[in-house]
Amino acid sequence: MLPRPLAWLLLYLTMCVTTPLAARPRLLSPAATVRLVTCAPGTETYALFGHSALRITDPGQGLDHVYNYGTFDFRTPNFYGRFLRGDLRYFLSATSFATFYAAYQAEQRPLTEQVLALQPAETQRVYDELEATLASPARFYRYQFFADNCTTRLYELITRSVTGSLQLDSTYVPVGQTYRQLLAPYLAPAPWVKVGMNLGLGWPADQPTVFRQRLFLPTELSQAWAHTSRQHRPFVTRTRSLLAAPILPDQSPGWGTPGRVLGSLAILFALAASLPARYSLLAAVLGRGVLAVVGLTGCLIAGLHLFSLHTPAHYNYQLLWLLPTHLLVAVSPVRRWWRLYATGAIGLLVIGSLLGYGVYYARLLPEIGWLLGVLLGQLLLLRKQPFGVVQQTGA
């Protein structure tokens, strides 16, 4: 088995080499098949939601290619900045199934494939469009997590290529789930990513979805095809596991989870606030630290709202309590206007909590309750006695 980094490097290099060479249109035989390959979620942040690809096989011509819309180039200038802004270019690539399989085997990520019941002419249309896209600038696109990603593009390609209508039974899923609720089970294994992503998502992520909107998630698309029929026959003719899940030992979450860290911070803050006046320096340091962290988080969220092309990051009501101005208070000398500022911030915190946390957010992210409590306590102390320091005169 190849080491993990080497396997992914080999996959990337093979994609770069085979993509230009893959644009060789050919007439497929009637035995050719189109298969949806669904990759299970992995442990790395980029792999938490799984992945989808199309595998096209034609035994008579020795064809066994995997087409992947989830490829990007780490060498892109300002890679992380463009990723956060939503301006990172993804592209369609093609590689052999053997290379694709080796990379996921190194990751120990389960693979499942579904053979789709396409007619030979439909299979040919799928293959021709993929090959034509590979050889044109259309292979590049701007990735949008909810609306235009490696999975939604495969769904659209298949539905465009099918003659006649497909009957998709959507009764197996709950009605009206929000994007935030759909993401919750995938984020559970990565609690800090869950906190960050839920803070970064705004009001659009809280709108009820229709069934079609669920299909940005690879597992959801796989289940959708399994519940689809055409002329009263299943649209998936065969499902099989290509790579089984490894048996992993149970791992304790440890003390580094957001709930325990923020809970410990709340207890520490309460103890520091109750100390005699001669220990006010400790309370001041903790208080400024809390406001600085909250303010920096607010700056990041405000930046996503103003400059990101990711629509779900817009209209983020959490800016009502994650105020960027907290950073200014944290680094400035004591001022008279702090009491008025703290009063206004408490009011906005209450409104923001009622909009988000008090509605359904608490079930998805209960650890944020600790942070809200710490922040509210700091603002109340700031209103009463700024950072335990006797207020100075001046503006």
Residue 213, SS3 per DSSP:
helix
Are 50 and 40 contacting, i.e. CB atoms less than 8 angstroms apart?
yes
Residues 324 and 204 in one domain: no
277 is a domain residue: yes
Q: Using CA atoms in the order 328, 333, 336, 339, what is the torsion angle rounded to 10 degrees? A: 50
- pLDDT number for residue 245: 75
Report whether pLDDT(273) > 70.
no
Whether residues 163 and 36 fall in one domain: yes
Last residue of a domain, one of 243, 273, 298: 243
DSSP state of 36: E
User: Over the stretch 195-229, which tens digit does the pLDDT of each residue have?
Assistant: 999 999 998 998 899 999 999 999 999 999 999 99
In a domain, 248, yes or no: no
Number of domains, the chain: 2
Residues 306 and 343 occupy one common structural domain: yes
Residue 47 contacts residue 41 (beta carbons within 8 Å): yes
Same domain, 236 and 265: no
What pLDDT was estimated at residue 324? 95
Residues 131 and 216 in one domain: yes
Query: Do both 159 and 77 map to the same domain?
Result: yes
Same domain, 272 and 379: yes
Domain for residue 393, yes or no? no
Rounded to the nearest 10 degrees, the angle between the axes of helix 191-200 and helix 258-273 is: 80
The answer to whether residues 218 and 296 belong to one domain is no
Nearest residue to 287 (alpha-carbon basis) of 155, 387, 139: 387
H or E element that contains 303:
helix 280-307
Identify the band that residue 378 occupies on the pLDDT scale cut at 50, 70 and 90. confident
- Decide if 238 is inside a domain: yes
Q: Is residue 144 assigned to a domain?
A: yes
Q: Is residue 250 part of a domain?
A: no
* 167 and 282 both lie in a single domain: no
In a domain, 46, yes or no: yes
Pick the last residue of a domain from 243, 278, 304.
243
Q: What is the pTM of this model?
A: 0.84
Picking from 96, 104, 133, the residue whose alpha carbon sits closest to that of residue 17 is 96
Average pLDDT, the chain: 84
Instruction: State whether 117 and 207 are in the same domain.
Output: yes
Residue 57: predicted pLDDT: 97
Predicted confidence (pLDDT) per residue in 172-188, tens digit: 999 889 999 999 999 98
Interval 75-81 mean pLDDT: 77
225 and 273 fall within a common domain: no
Which residues does 107 contact at the CB level (< 8 Å), separation at least 6? 4, 7, 8, 42, 47
By residue range, what is the domain housing residue 46? 4-243
CA separation for the pair 90, 388 (Å, rounded): 52
Q: Are residues 211 and 287 in the same domain?
A: no
Answer yes or no: are the C-beta atoms of 297 and 303 closer than 8 Å. no
Cα 58 from Cα 65, distance rounded (Å): 9
Average pLDDT over residues 19-47: 81
Please give the average per-residue pLDDT across 32-58, as a whole number. Answer: 93
CA 161/CA 331 separation, integer angstroms:
59
Spatial separation of the C-alpha atoms in residues 296 and 324, rounded to whole Å: 6
Contact (CB, 8 A) for 68 and 52 = no
Whether 204 maps to a domain, the answer reads: yes
Residue 14 has pLDDT above 70, yes or no: no
pLDDT at 160: 95
283-311 mean pLDDT = 88
Task: List Cβ neighbours of 247 (8 Å cut-off, separation of 6 or more).
Answer: none
